[in-house]
Amino acid sequence: MAGLTRTAGAFAVTPHKISVCVLLQIYAPSAQMSLPFPFSSVSQHNRLGLYLLSLTKACDDMYEMKLEELINQLRELGDDVDAWLTENLTNQFSSLSSPDDLLNFFTDMRGILGSLDSGAVQDDRIVLDHNSNLGMFVRRCILAFNLLSFEMDMEIYVMDKATKEMELHRNASGSVSFHLHTPEALFKVTEGIPYYSPIYAQEEFLRISGLLVSRKEKSSTSKFAEATSVASASSSKVEDTRVDESLFLRTNLQIQGFLMEKADAIEAHGNSFFSSSIESFLEQLQNLAPELHRVHFLRYLNKLHSDDYFAALDNLLRYFDYSAGTEGFDLVPPSTGCSMHGRYEIGLLCLGMMHFRFGHPNLALEVLTEAVRVSQQLSNDTCLAYTLAAMSNLLSEMGIASTTSVLGASYSPVTSTASSLSVQQRVYILLKESLRRADTLKLKRLVASNHLAMAKFELMHVQRPLLSFGPKASMRHKTCPISVCKEIRLSAHLISDFSSESSKMTIDGSLSSVWLKDLQKPWSQPVYSRESSSRNNSTFFKFCDHLVSIPGSVSQIIGASYLIRATSWELYGSAPMARMNTLVYATLFGDSSSSSDAELAYLKLIQHLALYKGYKDAFAALKIAEEKFLTVSKSKILLLKLQLLHEHALHRGNLKLAQRICNELGGLASTTMGVDMELKVEASLREARTLLAAKQYSQAANTAHSLFCTCHKFNLQIEKASVLLLLAEIHKMAGNAVMGLPYALASISFCQSFNLDLLKASATLTLAELWRGLGSNHSKRALDLLHGAFPMILGHGGLELRARAYIFEANCYLSDPSFSVSTDSDTVLDSLRQASDELQALEYHELTAEALYLMAMVYDKLGRPEEREEAAALFKKHITALEIPQDVEPNMA
Amino acid sequence: MVSKESCRNEIRAAIRQLSDRCLYSAAKWAGEQLVGIEQDSSNFTPSNTRFQRGSSSIRRRFSTNESISTPQPSVGFSQPPATPLPQEDEVIDGDLYLLAKSYFDCREYRRASHVLRDQMSKKSVFLRCYALYLAGEKRKEEEMVGLEGPLGKSDAINRELVSLERELSALKRTGAIDSFGLYLYGVVLKEKGNESLARASLVESVNSYPWNWSAWSELQSLCTSIEILNSLNLNNHWMKEFFLGSAYQELRMHSESLAKYEYLQGIFSFSNYIQAQTAKAQYSLREFDQVEIMFEDLLRNDPYRVEDMDLYSNVLYAKEACAALSYLAHKVFLTDKYRPESCCIVGNYYSLKGQHEKAVMYFRRALKLNKKYLSAWTLMGHEYVEMKNTSAAIDAYRRAVDVNPCDYRAWYGLGQAYEMMGMPFYALHYFRKSIFFLPNDSRLWIAMAKCYQSEQLHMLEEAIKCYKRAVNCGDTEGIALNQLAKLHQKLGRNEEAAFYFEKDLERMDAEGLEGPNMFEALVFLATHLKTNKKFDEAEVYCTRLLDYSGPEKEKAKSLLRGIRMAQTGFPSMDMEHFPL
């Protein structure tokens, strides 16, 4: 079975490696003084060294650089030595005129290595340390060469010959990779040949000529980077890889790395176009290498991301049937001899997650339970840790109302008493268990993501003792922001494990291809090759930047931690912090993230815009996001659009439209119980608000009430707070302040226990409004309440909330008999002016009209008729706009 | 009914034409059918009778229809106008053609096609293309052997396909193609993956020249569903009946297939092919005794036959006829040891002997000879299960399923393997798959029910549903009724439990079985009836129990005592008035 084991044959001598060796020889000639000949400065010399370092690191990659690319890169490297380097490289190749020369060449290579025993290194000589990266590379090359038999020696020579010839005809023939010219027989050189297909003259030429066209096109548009990076347009990529896979040999390690990279790509581009192109590519790969079972897994992933349930299931099962879960999984292998049984528990884990994604929570739970059982049975702790994490994720995401019927009857994974616990408690236990196991097994990524899950849990759930006995059991019923922060920080520790690259870290194929990508990023941009003045420094720093490379999965987790930070700040009510964290995510992790995470970031930013800048900006941003994400399956962008439109319609008073959007929103949710809870809650919350706006108070109250029951049933605590607030709001609007008060108070206490500061401020405002609704004699108390909440509202509140607060304040003052308009007019007018400005951005006609009305009244009292008339005219405009809602919706298109 | 004589004449001419075109396996098949036609008594020769001797008596034993020689033609089937035999375009083959054919016969395909490069007659064109195709196939095979790496074969393809397709399609457009050319065109299209066009071309070919069995079998392999089969526009001809028989069999419509073969046996009463096909269908219907006799008969007539003998070995294996299997294995091995069938038979032999490693080795060899040999994959899976190497078993089964997704045995094997590993929920999917392809097999339903019943899942309601289906499918092993009763008992539904226990009891009585199940049923029924105050019936069961010794007898006695007590305890009963 083709696992990730590195064999001796995994490292083969290829023409590319010989070129690197030649360069190394130039870099560290065997008998030379401190600065070898062509280099004019130490920094220049070092630059070549850094470049060689990255080349050697990239040599485990799936793609091997073509000679032409190498020369191009060399050209960008040194300003005056590049010609010399290229010249020398070509000369060296030409001088290898017989197999014997090759032998001599490798014998010479030994010379550039320092001797093992000489502790004292002469200062004036450049010798490669045996254990340095470059030294290791040279040693590996020499070893690989020595392992070759006589005939192979010959063949390598022929291959070199071909390369050299190619080099000579380079200018005439354009960009031809040197692999293409090597005869078929040469490919047998490497031992442990993974796969290749023979080349027949005719077809080869067809293919090459086809390729040449595409290559030329690309280079002419200088989109070279796109062609090589995974994120490129898929058609060209498939073509590229086809050439690669059919013409050259890859080691297992390289293939696995390549496939891993593809898997990341599938996750990052969840759209249907990408999916079909990658599917055809995978089919091809499968034809070429039917025993490479990992391909089935990739097909599964691809189908999963394009929402094809049956094909996904089929491919998943096929993968595990064939490989027994032992091919290509980067989990730490279990110490005991589980190989006999295979690792089908991973299959169960994947199947469970698949069911989860397709919205079958009960099936998923059943499968995961089995996964837990099998992992325990085979003592595969790694899988167990992952499974527990998946389970807790499932339980926390899906609203499973009565888990006892599902879990309790058959099996409870952790303890036998678990069946008596509530869902949250179970989630907590599962998480803790998973974290503990992951910690002992040193599964760093899992530890990090478990910390994140823990942070989420802490964010959403109040701390309660698991088993409460006696009087001492009562603890504070609050969530703890500090522990949320702690968990997020703990998860971010992951990056420090990767930031200092240690030799212990396995350089898997994917990592090495990251190297190559990183190399090409700066190099492909013409900026660096043209701006000669700033070039040196910038290229140099680019090298340094990319010396540390972080695997995609790690940066994904770190990115997710920023998103959670943003979410937590959103809940805690700090708009700037939320925005900042989202921006950090979007700028730093945007390219390595999965499409759904990136989408979430956009979503948050757009929501922020809508709340704080008005709809115009938000819709403009939405348009950009739509282009990017609408093809992604299960896109949240549509949801966001509906939300924005609904909000907008409510503000403009277009209730029919609002109702229609509400219905659409409800239609998006799955009909299955307990699935898409977030969406369902959102839809009915908006329905209640629409009813409220239509002044159908009793219906609105009914809807809100049943929503509250749902939230209670599915343990949606934070949603409960906002539903309570809505109920208070409904009663306030219905003029029934006494009924509203308890709701507002309840909402406030919920907010307190979950540290939802902004929501609390908003609830306080409602409370104040309710007090005032009881009569003007309560104005004082209302004003006090408002002033208490003012810092929060003005500092972090959205446009609407702030305007409401301003208007309310003005109202309070104006109704206060002790307040004199003529002396203190500015206090009131400032607030009102601020409010009306902000509300105009929201197109909130009703409130704007109110503010303007008050303003007009104040001006009237002050005896300023012109301003009064102005305000009155504006007032009239808004009132007519409210009464005749424009059906034409410019942003609906 | 087609007359035997006309059939005979048609086939005779066809054999000549087919072997002239080097379509040897079709000619072979036709030849078998030719001698399969019962001879008229007027002009048979001693050699003919020798060949046909000795089989009819056995065949009569199993025939449901007494009049073998004149079976009823199937309803709605009228005799079609006989397709006229095409005239050869050249009566005498050209010299070059003769040379090419000799080269072809020496398997020098490229040389053969080269010789015919400028010949324009349809026959020459066909032979040239056919030789080219075979040359490509040969090359492909060589490549596949040479290029196998650790990750499997590279996609070796027949490199002649492109040019062949181009040429044949051009010929077809101009109408300069005969039915053989159409056959080859169909084959090429099929290889290229263009199934619907291939089907159309093959249909055209068999409609104009029905005697080419190779064309029919290619067509059959393209009929993967009954819908496709029904949509084919085929002329009526007796060859179509052969085709339908084989197609029905492949689509698991065994009784339909049997009906076709029974009809054909009216003409081709001594055809080994028909006999083997009938045996195959019967095997699928699990009539092992009958199949065994048919194969014995077949081997007597055709002792060096290797085809289909793997099926015979399966039957012998199922019947644990070790000696016969050993005899078969040795005989077949002497005939041709490098046939996949032979290897499979030897594998079966070793498996029956309990030497599973050796069995695996021979199945492997069979697979080396034919990678798509379905039953070898499945059987190898069984061996690995025996050897407790579950992951290897799963791998083997999965390969079988990928060769033919309709193979219910392999799906079932997969389910079993996962169940063995304690993953019943995962296994359920595979059982479901296997049941999808064979919904009327009680064993599959029982396997699924057991999965649901397992202590890990404990989904008893689902298990009950499955057992009910098993009972409806005619549970041969008698597990389902007992389990149903027990499950109902466990769930406290005593009425249902009593119902099923009674049924089970009836079944056991009918089959004359005894055993713990019977005691259990009797005890439960007696107790149940007693608690429901049906004392007379309870007494009947108790007295039955008294016939046996052991604890049941004591139990029965105490039950009877209880019944008496209860009866005497009731003052309203009539008995009370009579002092005992």
CATH of the domain at A318: 1.25.40.10
List Cβ neighbours of A683 (8 Å cut-off, separation of 6 or more).
Answer: A662, A665, A666, A668, A669
Residues in B closer than 8 angstroms to A288, CB to CB, are 154-155
Q: How would you classify residue B533: left for phi > 0, otherwise alpha for psi between -120 and 50, otherwise beta?
A: left
pLDDT for residue A183: 29
Alpha carbon distance A138, B201 (integer Å): 61
Domain boundary among A630, A654, A676: A630
Q: Are residues A482 and A573 in the same domain?
A: no
Residues in B closer than 8 angstroms to A292, CB to CB, are 151-152
| pLDDT tops 50 at residue B126 | yes
| pLDDT tops 60 at residue A401 | no
- Calculate Rg over the CA atoms of chain B: 31
Average pLDDT over every residue of B236-249: 90
pLDDT for residue B103: 92
Q: Are residues A379 and A448 in the same domain?
A: yes
Domain that holds residue A62: 15-116+125-167
Contact B424 A370 (CB under 8 A): yes
pLDDT-derived band at B345 (thresholds 50, 70, 90) equals very high
Contact A176, A166 (CB under 8 A): yes
Residues in B closer than 8 angstroms to A195, CB to CB, are 149, 151-152, 154
Concatenated DSSP letters of B365-378: HHHHH-TT-HHHHH
Enter the tokens of residue A62: 């799936």
Range among A25-34, A202-211, B498-507 rated most confident? B498-507
pLDDT for residue A79: 61
Q: Say whether residue B151 is in contact with chain A using an 8 A CB cutoff.
A: yes
Average pLDDT, chain B: 81
Q: Are residues A572 and A488 in the same domain?
A: no
> How many CB atoms sit inside 10 A of residue A233's CB?
14
| pLDDT tops 60 at residue B561 | yes
pLDDT-derived band at A298 (thresholds 50, 70, 90) equals confident
Q: Are residues A485 and A570 in the same domain?
A: no
pLDDT for residue B217: 92
Contact A229, A265 (CB under 8 A): no
Q: Are residues A377 and A489 in the same domain?
A: yes
Q: Say whether residue B389 is in contact with chain A using an 8 A CB cutoff.
A: yes
pLDDT-derived band at B509 (thresholds 50, 70, 90) equals confident
Contact A454, A479 (CB under 8 A): no
Residue type, B148: E
Shortest CA gap B350–chain A (Å): 24
pLDDT for residue A101: 77
Angle (CA) B423-A349-A405 rounded to 5° is: 70
Q: Are residues A279 and A155 in the same domain?
A: no
Enter the tokens of residue B497: 């439990």
pLDDT tens-digit map of B412-429: 999 988 888 888 888 888
Domain boundary among A630, A654, A672: A630
Cα A5–chain centre separation? 30
How far, CA to CA in Å, does A260 sit from each of A62, A253, A265, B150, B447?
A: 11, 11, 9, 20, 38
Residues in A closer than 8 angstroms to B394, CB to CB, are 321, 324, 342
pLDDT-derived band at A126 (thresholds 50, 70, 90) equals low
Tell me whether 0.95 is exceeded by the ipTM.
no
pLDDT for residue B134: 92
Q: How would you classify residue B87: left for phi > 0, otherwise alpha for psi between -120 and 50, otherwise beta?
A: beta
Question: Higher-confidence residue: A7 or A467?
Answer: A467
Q: Are residues A490 and A555 in the same domain?
A: no
Enter the tokens of residue A381: 């702790």
Shortest CA gap A548–chain B (Å): 33
A489 domain residue, yes or no? yes
Alpha carbon distance A712, A706 (integer Å): 10
**Main-chain dihedrals φ then ψ at residue B233, nearest 5 degrees:** -100, 90
pLDDT for residue A885: 61
Question: Higher-confidence residue: A885 or A830?
Answer: A830
Q: Are residues A321 and A401 in the same domain?
A: yes
**For chain B, how many residues are written?**
580
Average pLDDT over every residue of B501-519: 80
Dihedral, CA atoms, A455, A461, A463, A465, nearest 10 degrees?
Answer: -110
A736 domain residue, yes or no? no
Count the domains in chain A.
Answer: 4
Q: Residues B199-207: contacts with CB within 8 Å, 24+ apart?
A: B199/B223, B199/B228, B199/B232, B201/B172, B203/B232, B203/B233, B203/B234, B204/B179, B205/B179, B205/B180, B206/B179, B206/B234, B206/B239, B206/B240, B206/B243, B207/B233, B207/B234, B207/B235
Nearest to A233 by CA among A279, A195, A269: A269
List Cβ neighbours of A740 (8 Å cut-off, separation of 6 or more).
Answer: A727, A728, A729, A730, A731, A732, A766, A770, A773
A314 domain residue, yes or no? yes
Contact B514, B508 (CB under 8 A): yes
Chain A residue nearest residue B454, CA to CA: A410
A63 domain residue, yes or no? yes
pLDDT-derived band at A479 (thresholds 50, 70, 90) equals low
Q: Are residues A606 and A482 in the same domain?
A: no
List Cβ neighbours of B418 (8 Å cut-off, separation of 6 or more).
Answer: A344, B394, B424, B426, B427, B430
Q: What is the pTM of this model?
A: 0.69
Alpha carbon distance A156, A163 (integer Å): 10
Average pLDDT over every residue of A711-730: 85
Alpha carbon distance A160, A172 (integer Å): 19
| Distance from the first to the final alpha carbon of chain A | 54
Alpha carbon distance B471, B462 (integer Å): 14
| Lowest-pLDDT range of A420-434, A806-820, B280-294 | A420-434
Q: Are residues A288 and A431 in the same domain?
A: yes
pLDDT tens-digit map of A98-123: 767 777 787 777 777 766 555 545 55
**For chain A, how many residues are written?**
893
| pLDDT tops 70 at residue B106 | yes
**Main-chain dihedrals φ then ψ at residue B412, nearest 5 degrees:** -60, -40
Residues in A closer than 8 angstroms to B143, CB to CB, are 198
List Cβ neighbours of B89 (8 Å cut-off, separation of 6 or more).
Answer: B121, B122, B123
Alpha carbon distance A673, A739 (integer Å): 32
Work out how many CB contacts closer than 8 A connect A with B. Answer: 90
Enter the tokens of residue B390: 């579950």
Q: Say whether residue B20 is in contact with chain A using an 8 A CB cutoff.
A: no
pLDDT-derived band at A813 (thresholds 50, 70, 90) equals confident
Question: Higher-confidence residue: A843 or A479?
Answer: A843
A238 domain residue, yes or no? no
pLDDT for residue B213: 92
pLDDT-derived band at A396 (thresholds 50, 70, 90) equals confident
> How many CB atoms sit inside 10 A of residue B511's CB?
8
Give me the residues of B, 222-251, that contact A with CB < 8 A: none
pLDDT tens-digit map of B41-87: 555 454 444 444 444 444 444 444 433 333 333 333 444 445 555 55
Contact B329, B313 (CB under 8 A): yes
Concatenated DSSP letters of A119-173: -S--TT---B-TTSHHHHHHHHHHHHHHHS-HHHHHHHHHHHHHHHHHHHTHHHH
Q: Are residues A302 and A445 in the same domain?
A: yes
pLDDT-derived band at B203 (thresholds 50, 70, 90) equals very high
Question: Higher-confidence residue: A380 or B54?
Answer: A380
Average pLDDT, chain A: 69
pLDDT for residue B363: 92
pLDDT tens-digit map of A484-507: 777 877 777 776 666 554 433 343
| pLDDT tops 70 at residue A224 | no
% of chain A residues with pLDDT over 70: 65
A680 domain residue, yes or no? no
pLDDT tens-digit map of A509-568: 344 444 444 433 333 333 333 333 333 333 333 433 444 456 667 777 778 888 888 888
Helical (H) or strand (E) element with A889: none
pLDDT-derived band at A127 (thresholds 50, 70, 90) equals low
pLDDT tens-digit map of A12-71: 677 777 788 887 877 777 655 566 666 777 777 777 777 777 777 776 655 666 677 777
Contact B211, B18 (CB under 8 A): yes
Helical (H) or strand (E) element with B166: helix B161-174
A805 domain residue, yes or no? yes
Alpha carbon distance A237, A226 (integer Å): 9
| pLDDT tops 70 at residue B261 | yes
Contact A194 B456 (CB under 8 A): no
Question: Higher-confidence residue: A81 or B121?
Answer: B121
Alpha carbon distance A688, A717 (integer Å): 18
Q: Are residues A434 and A580 in the same domain?
A: no
pLDDT for residue A23: 79
Furthest-apart CA pair in chain A: how many Å? 108
Q: Residues A104-110: contacts with CB within 8 Å, 24+ apart?
A: A105/A18, A105/A21, A106/A141, A106/A142, A106/A145, A106/A146, A108/A25, A108/A30, A109/A21, A109/A24, A109/A25, A109/A138, A109/A141, A109/A142, A110/A142
Shortest CA gap A684–chain B (Å): 36
A542 domain residue, yes or no? no
Q: Say whether residue B163 is in contact with chain A using an 8 A CB cutoff.
A: no
- For A341, the closest of B155, B390, B395 (CB atoms) is B390
Concatenated DSSP letters of A305-348: HTT-HHHHHHHHHHHHHHHTT-SS--SPPPSS-GGGT--HHHHH
Dihedral, CA atoms, A130, A131, A135, A138, nearest 10 degrees?
Answer: 90
Contact A196 B426 (CB under 8 A): no
pLDDT for residue B148: 59
Contact A292 B151 (CB under 8 A): yes
pLDDT for residue A65: 67
pLDDT tens-digit map of A314-326: 888 888 888 776 6
